[in-house]
């Protein structure tokens, strides 16, 4: 449940949200920067990329036109920018409800709740760790120990979950890596072949001989061909795969798990799907530098200006796409199954800690595991 810390609380008793963070993330700069548990892998990836581009500048650029240096520097900066944004952006973490008592949590866990999206009934799963009904399309990541809106996957190279708020940065990263790899490999090959042809002084030997000469005269340039091609071999298919998902408005988990069978209730057409994935911006639900009440420990919400955040999280779920109705809970019947309950009501802010679902999406994972118990 989102709470506002009373003004009369002593400063000694007040912790900021990032200081009482229950997830696996790390913070620096007084909560301004948040990184995931695998940030060391991100440092390694950034160092490897930097070492490769420096080698390209040293081995290839001195013998190439000026625009090769400018182009490679531009693509490198673009790649590193997208990497930093992906690794440090809140992916869309849903606040926990630590104020709920065990009895209420146990009762909620026995309920079945649904929303209807374009004629497809979507279950809202209860998260035993965060003690909320996860918003549609959200999932609990066992690596980061948080629920994430529109959960796509946990990327160890970014040290972070990929979700609603940082997916467009991740997409930009994989595309920029592909462009940088093609650029470096192409101009390294052109430079090595040019030097090899010049060594033959106007003769026209077979291409195999030219290639052999290039390897002997420019081994560094040849390495700068092979290494980016290996990167492209790994990242290229990933980039194409995610571009396909964007056009269909699917997540990686949805594509693999097929929770709705052949239905795709979230697609709005290719053009709008692409616009939504690449251009839409989502506000942050959790403010790490805001004050956390002692009993909440995590999700007491105050903006940096001291104004309380709105509690319209659940109300926004009741869009025109959903069936309207009242929420009901039902006891389990024989066999451990439950009767279907209706759509979440507007006032259920304790159970659902999210906002901003223009077209709500699907819950992806099981009870606090990373996509291991998907509702199908």
**Rounded to 5 degrees, what angle do the CA atoms 65, 67, 69 make?**
90
Q: Judge whether 270 counts as a catalytic residue.
A: no
Inter-residue contact 323 to 344 (CB < 8 Å): no
- Count other Cβ atoms within 10 Å, centred on residue 42: 22
First to last CA, the chain: 29
Q: For residues 23 and 142, is the Cβ–Cβ distance under 8 A?
A: no
User: What's CA 19's distance to the chain center, in Å?
Assistant: 23
d(CA 291, CA 297): 9
Q: Given CA atoms 270, 275, 278, 281 in this order, what sign does their dihedral have? A: negative
d(CA 283, CA 319) in angstroms, rounded, equals 18
Alpha-carbon distance 7 to 112, whole Å? Answer: 38
Question: Which of 268, 327, 251, 256 is closest to 92 using CA atoms?
Answer: 251
Q: How far apart are CA 45 and CA 136, in angstroms?
A: 33
The SS3 of residue 296 is coil
Q: Is beta strand 153-155 parallel, antiparallel or unpaired with respect to 146-148?
A: unpaired
Spatial distance between the Cα atoms of 146 and 298, rounded to a whole number of angstroms: 11
Out of 155, 327, 365, 368, the active site residue is 155
Q: How many CB atoms lie within 10 A of CB 126?
A: 23
List active site positions. 155
């Amino acid at each position: 449940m989102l709470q506002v810390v009373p003004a009369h609380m002593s400063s000694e008793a007040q912790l900021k949200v990032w200081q009482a963070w229950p997830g696996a993330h790390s913070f620096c700069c007084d909560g301004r920067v948040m990184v995931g548990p695998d940030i060391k892998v991100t440092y390694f990836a950034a160092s490897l990329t930097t070492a490769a581009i420096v080698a390209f500048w040293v081995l290839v650029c001195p013998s190439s036109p000026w625009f090769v240096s400018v182009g490679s520097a531009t693509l490198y900066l673009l790649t590193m920018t997208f990497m930093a944004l992906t690794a440090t952006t809140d992916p869309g973490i849903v606040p926990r409800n630590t104020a709920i008592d065990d009895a209420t949590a146990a009762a909620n866990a026995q309920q079945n709740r649904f929303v209807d999206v374009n004629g497809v009934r979507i279950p809202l799963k209860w998260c035993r760790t965060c003690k909320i009904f996860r918003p549609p399309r959200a999932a609990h990541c066992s690596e980061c120990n948080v629920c994430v809106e529109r959960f796509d996957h946990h990327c160890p190279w970014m040290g972070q979950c990929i979700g609603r708020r940082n997916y467009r940065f991740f997409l930009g990263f994989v595309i920029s890596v592909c462009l940088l790899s093609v650029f470096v490999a192409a101009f390294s090959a052109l430079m090595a072949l040019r030097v090899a042809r010049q060594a033959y002084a106007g003769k026209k030997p077979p291409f195999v001989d030219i290639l052999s000469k290039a390897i002997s005269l420019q081994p560094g340039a040849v390495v700068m061909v092979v290494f980016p091609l290996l990167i492209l071999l790994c990242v290229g298919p990933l980039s194409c795969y995610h571009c396909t998902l964007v056009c269909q408005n699917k997540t990686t988990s949805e594509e693999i798990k097929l929770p709705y069978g052949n239905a795709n209730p979230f697609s709005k057409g290719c053009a709008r799907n692409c616009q939504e994935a690449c251009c839409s911006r989502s506000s942050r639900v959790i403010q790490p530098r805001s004050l956390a009440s002692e009993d909440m420990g995590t999700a007491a919400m105050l903006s940096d200006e001291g104004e309380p955040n709105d509690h319209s999280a659940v109300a926004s779920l009741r869009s025109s796409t959903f069936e309207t109705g009242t929420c009901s809970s039902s006891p389990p019947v024989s066999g451990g199954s439950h009767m279907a309950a209706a759509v979440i009501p507007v006032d259920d802010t304790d159970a659902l800690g999210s906002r901003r679902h223009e077209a709500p999406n699907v819950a992806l994972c099981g009870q606090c595991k990373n996509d291991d118990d998907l509702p199908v």
